[in-house]
């Protein structure tokens, strides 16, 4: 019988009694003592005639101790955390024995957690309820956002794993937990790389038995990491994991090609269209002036006059920068700097105009709506294709740019205010 206990609940010590090695073999054969418990389960049931007794007492999964084990706490550290929170008075010796038993059970279960689908459907040593299995899998593959923020965009190499002590020190999260999260991410990436003909989120859900939200986060992390999008630049230091993960979701949804590959790639055909548009719109003066006039005329309904004048002056710079970002999506070298390009080529020029995040959204929506009305555009070959590529680009820049713009603008305001305060203090 399996039970789950809560954070403050005291449960009697439980020990899982596995089948002894001698019972697993016929006379004269060597016992398979080196195999993980989960790997020998099928053989146990295939040869039940060889067994006399197989019994266990109640296996208790204590959620608070599971939390400590996943966090990388030692047995003594977990005892120190649990003792003041135990409702029923108990000696340190008994509590330590209980914690140690829980840790040993989790270590046995960990072999099965490396293969979640097997753990759900085929392992028999631990007859856990579906609720308990779901809890264990979701918790084991859970991660701390500060740790993932440090891993984003980096190659998951042996050297990177050795440097996890720096990540641990920076994030204040135990090294054991950092290693578990690193290994889980690397294992999920490997599984996705070896898969075919299934969308990445569906593949992670199916193989690792995770919720859609959980699998989606891993998919966005893998997309950023696989494309080596740099998140380590100084100007990006104040952005959080949630900021980058959101942008990764936008890029995956709008800027990748529709292929059967599990690992999504940036759409090179879209990048080629945007390269053509960049040459047309910036070199044909009549078309550019028509585009700028149409956009500013429509935007003036919602954007203040002073801001609109600044936007009109910066329009060519913003358009050029946005099209440069889009045309560079076919180059792995240029894609690597995608985040810093969005900050330097979109957020910084827009901050100079005094636009709010909402007004930035209005600008890009207007650019999408008015593109087809530009003078001479109706005579252009492949108009529909160009229109679709530009719409995808501008929607992506709008969503990702607004996310980064809010943080960037807020941080810049704080820096200005701080400089004013420091200057006033010195005077």
**128 and 45 share one domain:** yes
Give 307-353 pLDDT, tens digit per residue: 889 999 999 999 999 999 999 999 999 999 999 999 999 999 999 88
d(CA 356, CA 350): 9
d(CA 217, CA 151): 14
Distances (CA, A) of 132 to 97, 109, 119: 22, 12, 11
For residue 305, name the pLDDT band (cuts at 50, 70, 90): confident
Which residues on adjacent β-strands are paired with residue 4?
A: 61
**153 and 131 share one domain:** no
Q: What is the mean pLDDT of the chain?
A: 83
**54 and 173 share one domain:** no
Contacts of 419 by beta carbon, 8 Å cutoff, 6+ apart: none
d(CA 158, CA 162): 6
Q: Which residue's entry shows tokens 């440090």?
A: 150
Structural domain tally of the chain? Answer: 3
Q: Find, among 207, 209, 210, 185, the residue nearest to 196 by Cα.
A: 207
Q: Find, among 301, 289, 296, 299, the residue nearest to 312 by Cα.
A: 296
The pLDDT assigned to 383 comes to 85
Does residue 260 sit within a domain?
Answer: no
- Stated pTM of the model: 0.81
Q: Burial of 422 by CB count in 10 Å (0-12 exposed, 13-18 middle, 19+ buried)?
A: exposed
CB-based contact 298:370 (threshold 8 Å):
yes
d(CA 359, CA 300): 10
- Both tokens of 18, joined, read 């596995």
Backbone angles phi, psi at 145, to 5 degrees: -60, -40
The pLDDT assigned to 258 comes to 76
d(CA 380, CA 387): 11
Q: Find, among 222, 127, 133, the residue nearest to 184 by Cα.
A: 222
Residue 2, H or E segment: strand 2-5
The pLDDT assigned to 51 comes to 52
**380 and 294 share one domain:** yes
d(CA 1, CA 15): 12
Contacts of 162 by beta carbon, 8 Å cutoff, 6+ apart: none
Give 24-64 pLDDT, tens digit per residue: 333 343 443 334 444 444 554 455 555 555 555 557 789 99
CB-based contact 362:299 (threshold 8 Å):
yes
Q: Is the pLDDT of residue 196 over 50?
A: yes
**121 and 158 share one domain:** no
The pLDDT assigned to 55 comes to 57
The pLDDT assigned to 49 comes to 53
**368 and 402 share one domain:** yes
**175 and 124 share one domain:** no
Tell which of 101, 122, 140 closes a domain.
140
Please compute the mean of the pLDDT values over residues 68-94 and round it to a whole number.
Answer: 90
The pLDDT assigned to 137 comes to 95
Q: Quote the longest CA-to-CA distance of the chain.
A: 92
**420 and 375 share one domain:** yes
Please compute the mean of the pLDDT values over residues 300-311 and round it to a whole number.
Answer: 89
CB-based contact 146:171 (threshold 8 Å):
yes
Expressed as residue numbers, the domain containing 122 is: 2-140
For residue 416, name the pLDDT band (cuts at 50, 70, 90): very low
């Amino acid at each position: 019988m399996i039970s789950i206990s809560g954070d403050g609940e005291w449960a009697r010590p439980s020990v899982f009694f596995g089948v002894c090695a001698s019972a697993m073999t016929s006379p004269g054969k060597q016992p398979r003592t080196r195999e993980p418990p989960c790997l020998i389960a099928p053989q146990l049931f295939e040869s039940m005639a060889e067994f006399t007794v197989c019994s266990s007492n109640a296996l208790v999964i204590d959620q608070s101790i599971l939390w400590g084990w996943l966090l990388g706490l030692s047995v003594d550290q977990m005892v120190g955390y649990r003792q003041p929170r135990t409702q029923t008075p108990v000696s340190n010796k008994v509590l330590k024995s209980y914690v140690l038993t829980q840790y040993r059970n989790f270590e046995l279960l960990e072999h099965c957690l490396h293969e979640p689908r097997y753990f759900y459907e085929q392992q028999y040593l631990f007859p856990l309820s579906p609720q308990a299995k779901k809890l264990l899998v979701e918790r084991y593959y859970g991660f701390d956002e500060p740790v993932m923020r440090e891993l984003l965009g980096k190659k998951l190499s042996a050297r990177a794993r050795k440097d996890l002590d720096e990540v641990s020190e920076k994030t204040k999260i135990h090294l054991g937990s950092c290693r578990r999260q690193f290994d889980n991410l690397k294992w999920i990436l490997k599984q996705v790389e070896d898969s075919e003909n299934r969308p990445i989120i569906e593949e992670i859900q199916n193989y690792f038995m995770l919720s859609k939200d959980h699998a989606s986060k891993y998919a966005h992390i893998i997309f950023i990491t696989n494309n080596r999008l740099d998140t380590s630049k100084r100007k990006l230091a104040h952005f959080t994991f949630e900021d980058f993960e959101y942008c990764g979701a936008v890029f995956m949804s709008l800027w990748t090609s529709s292929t059967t590959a599990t690992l999504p790639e940036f759409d090179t055909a879209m990048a080629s269209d945007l390269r053509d548009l960049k040459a047309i719109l910036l070199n044909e003066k009549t078309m550019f002036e028509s585009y700028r006039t149409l956009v500013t005329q429509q935007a003036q309904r919602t954007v203040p006059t002073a801001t609109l004048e600044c936007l009109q002056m910066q329009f060519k710079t913003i358009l050029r920068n946005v099209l440069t970002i889009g045309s560079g999506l076919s180059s792995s070298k240029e894609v690597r700097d995608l985040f810093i390009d969005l900050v330097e080529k979109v957020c910084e020029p827009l901050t100079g105009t005094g636009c709010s995040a909402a007004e930035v959204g209005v600008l890009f929506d207007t650019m999408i709506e008015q593109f087809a009305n530009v003078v001479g555009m109706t005579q252009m070959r492949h108009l529909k294709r160009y229109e679709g590529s530009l719409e995808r680009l501008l929607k992506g820049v709008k969503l990702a740019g607004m996310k980064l713009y809010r943080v960037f603008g807020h941080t810049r305001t704080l820096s200005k205010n701080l400089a004013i305060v420091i200057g006033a203090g010195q005077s």
